[in-house]
Each structure stands twice: as structure tokens, then as C-alpha cells.
Amino acid sequence: MIDEVAEVRAAARSLAEEWLATGGRGRADNWARGLDPAFSKSLAAHGLIGLTWPREYGGRGLGNVARLAVTEELLRVGAPTGAHWVGDRQIGPSLIRHGTERQRAEFLPAIIAGEVVFALGMSEPGAGSDLAAVTTRATPVAGGFRVSGRKVWTSNAHRATHLYLLARTDTGERKHEGLSEFLIDMDSPGVQVSPIRDLAGEHHFNEVLLEGVVVPEDRLLGVRGRGWQQVVGQLAFERGGPERVLSTYPLLAELLSAGLSLSPAEQDRLGELIARLAALRHLAGGVAKALDGGEAPTREAAGLKHLGTAFETDLAEFVRDAYAATGRAPSPLVWDALLSSPGFGIRGGAAEVLLSLIARQEARA
């Protein structure tokens, strides 16, 4: 396994460095904001998407530790991975766990080849991190469901081919009951995408309006009404990855090579940040190993996401202040990180949601 991990890490590093050498510009948070289908297809051509998936669908049958190595190398340089990120990170594993054979055959090879782009239809205007409060409704009709509702903060929906959707199909005594997951073609009649621009005027967030969208029955993912139980397992993939720690790594690398004159107190602070980074990488490795062991490390993933949010925010602010103390103008990477930082505490779950989840898990232990 060690040789396989080293092999895929070296391949990913080579492609990342080639991308930089041919004019690529690394950015902070570029796994979420940057979408470059050509770069994703170059990774696909070298077998670096769907590493952990079964070989019969085009995967390589490797472990999540190998995937961790690849994603670390891509995050290290701030490469634009948005075209395949969601599909590779969580849609594929969800299909393997809960999908039908027809769904697996349709989507897994296409994700591996970099031919489909998934957006996540989870958050809503009245239900951000509280996914159990979603009100988008999927009403059963002949041959499938009719979906109506509104999703927000849907990254890259304007360039996606498909939408993963969490919607309410039934009512239950608790709000966690009656939710279901769907796979929707973005060109379906009734799907409307409107841009949400960030403070810099960039467009990667969107609002997605679904007005009477007809979804065939075979695009229901898993068991109707069991969406909450399914999505909880999926969130371990979303929350427990290195992107919760390394989104701003290009900023740290730039600082270390910038030759800034840091005061003793600033040097101590930088050392603390580097130590935190080492600990968080260790935690991410633990999540990957737990997934390889067949576990759903919900608590560990939530903890990594919570601590990673604090680290990335602290790092961006430290680098800003370090530049200011020397009188040098901050680089574009500093602005990238600062403009992205408000989203760190929202996507994947707000702190209150994560801490509540951790507390419940501890109480059951």
C-alpha cells in the first residue's frame, strides 16, 4: 500500500507542477472556486480520479489514504479541481454504497473520465447547515417525482451537468425523517440557475430554483425517506478531507518564501500555525484510514472540519498582518484567502452544528 500511495502522490505532484509550469496560477480555495475541465481530464487520463472505486467501473480499487495523497498534492499548489471534486469526493462513494447498478454504470465511469460535473443541492435560504430543515419537496407522480424548491450557495451549478439534491418526499414526526436523495440533470425543464457573486465580483456560487422539475424514479438515490441516514455517512467524506485544512496552503508556502522580516512574536505564532497544520494533517489521515476500515467517522470528520476552519481563518489573518507589519502590499493570494474565509465557517457545517454533532456522538460512545 505504501508503494501505491507514493506512486499516486508522485503522479499528482508531477501533473500539478506541469500545470504550474505551463501558466497555471495557484489560488487559495481553488478546489471550490476553480473549475478547469481540461485539468481534471488530465488527472483522469493518469487514473487519478475515482482511485478508491471498484475496478469494474474504471476505478483502481485503492484506499482513501491514496486519495488523500493525491488531493494533498493538488491542494498544495492551489490547482483548479472543481470540475471533478464533488463527484470524486462524495457522489461516487454514495453511489457505490446506495446506488442501483444502473446508476453506478451510468455515473461512475463518467466521473472517472472527467465527463460529468456535479453540484451539491443541499443548503436552502432557511436551512443552511441544518440540512434536516430543508423544505424543497419531491412529490411522487407517475414514473417518478416532481420537485419544487430553492437551493443556495450551490458552487459551480452554472457549469455543472448534474445536481445532487436533498429533498423532502415524506413527512415524519421528526424533521430528519422523510428526506430523500436525487440525481438531477441540470438541463431538465424547470431548473433555473442565478449567480451569487462574492465581494470580488467573482461567480462560483449560485442559487438554483426548481419549479416542477420531473425526476425519473430511477434517479432516486438509495431508499426513499432514508436520505438523512445516507447523507450523514456522505458528510464524513465532505467534512473529513484535507481541503478543510489545506485550502490556504499556497498562502503559507508563499509567506515562507517571501523573505518577510518577522518579529520573535510573529515567528512563534508562525511556528504554532505550522504545528497545528501538522496535527490536522494527522487527523485527516486518521479519517482516511477509518474510511478504509469500513467505518463512517462522523465525529472525527466533524472535529477536523471545525478545527480546520479555525486554522485556515487564523492563517489568512496572520499572513495579512505579517505583510502589514512590514509595509509590503499583500499578494493576490492574501486577498483570495480573506475573501474566501467567511465561507470556511459555513460550508460543510457551521460550528454550532458540528459541535452539537460531536457532543451527541460522544454521549452515545
Q: What DSSP character marks residue 127? A: B
Catalytic residue among 72, 73, 238, 300: 238
Q: What is the second-level CATH architecture of the domain 119-225?
A: Beta Barrel (2.40)
Contact 218, 283 (CB under 8 A): no
> What class is the 2-116 domain?
mainly alpha
Contact 77, 30 (CB under 8 A): no
Note the pLDDT of residue 2: 65
Note the pLDDT of residue 132: 82
Give the integer Cα–Cα distance in Å for 293 and 93. 14
Note the pLDDT of residue 296: 76
Count of Cβ atoms closer than 10 Å to residue 245 Cβ: 25
Contact 235, 301 (CB under 8 A): yes
Contact 89, 56 (CB under 8 A): no
Among candidate residues 81, 73, 225, 85, the one with its CA nearest the CA of residue 145: 225
Query: Which amino acid appears at position 12 of this protein?
Result: A
Note the pLDDT of residue 259: 86
Among candidate residues 69, 88, 50, the one with its CA nearest the CA of residue 7: 69
pLDDT tens string for the chain (365 positions)?
Answer: 569 999 999 999 999 999 999 999 888 889 988 899 999 999 999 999 999 999 999 999 999 999 999 999 999 999 999 999 999 999 999 999 999 999 999 999 999 999 999 999 999 998 766 788 899 999 999 999 999 999 999 999 999 999 999 999 998 778 889 999 999 999 999 999 999 998 778 899 999 999 999 999 999 999 999 998 898 777 767 777 899 899 999 999 999 998 889 999 999 999 999 999 999 999 999 999 998 898 878 888 888 898 999 999 999 999 999 999 988 888 888 888 888 877 776 777 777 777 787 787 777 76
Among candidate residues 32, 29, 31, 73, the one with its CA nearest the CA of residue 51: 73
H helix or E strand, kind and range, residue 145: strand 144-151
Distances from the Cα of 198 to the Cα of 29, 108, 339, angstroms: 13, 32, 8
Name the burial class of residue 203, with classes exposed (0-12), middle (13-18) and buried (19+) by CB atoms within 10 angstroms of its CB: middle
Residue boundaries of the structural domains of the chain: 2-116, 119-225, 240-364
One-character DSSP codes across 9-75: HHHHHHHHHHHHHTT----TTHHHH-B-HHHHHHHHHTT-SSTTS-GGGT-----HHHHHHHHHHHH
Among candidate residues 32, 51, 17, the one with its CA nearest the CA of residue 247: 32
pLDDT in tens, 6-24: 999 999 999 999 999 999 9
Note the pLDDT of residue 352: 76
Q: Under CATH, which number does the domain 240-364 receive?
A: 1.20.140.10
pTM reported for the whole predicted model: 0.90
Give the integer Cα–Cα distance in Å for 22 and 15. 11
pLDDT in tens, 216-243: 999 999 999 999 889 877 776 777 789 9
Catalytic status, residue 211: no
